[in-house]
Amino acid sequence: MENTPPNSTTYTFSRRFRISVLVYMLGFFGMAAATIFVGIIDRDTPNPNAPLVVALALVFVTLGYYCIDIWPKIHASIEVTEEHIIQRFRNGQSIAIRWQDVVGIRARQFLGRIEIFSKDAGKIIHVEAQIEGFGEIVATLQKKVRRRA
């Protein structure tokens, strides 16, 4: 268990959400395999729609790959303290931005997240909408940034 300051709150993705991503990933790869097997391999005669079967299987593979791609991101956590907002990753890396160093906040509605920009170039924290307590994080951001302005 990591030590957190007394006035800090840590937000993570729910266990249920992480399990659902894993189930979807396995499901998509299973559907890709089943599509190829039923549409091409397990047939007595060649399927004239084989290119469409392969295209459908590639859609499932792409969706499965997306689940693999977001897997490390859904194991990140957001810690909010009086002085900082910190994004911690599973591999031990973290990004910390002091409230006074926040130069911009951008809502990325179609990506389902908020991006917090620091005055230090390249320092960006991504707060995903699926994280538990997203509304609390947004309210804290509004309060801290408004207080500074």
pLDDT by residue, tens only, the chain of 149 residues = 455 556 889 999 999 999 999 999 999 999 999 999 999 999 999 999 999 999 999 999 999 999 999 998 899 999 999 999 999 999 999 999 999 999 999 999 998 899 999 998 889 999 999 999 999 999 999 888 876 55
Does this model's pTM top 0.85? My answer is no
78/9 Cα distance (integer angstroms): 8
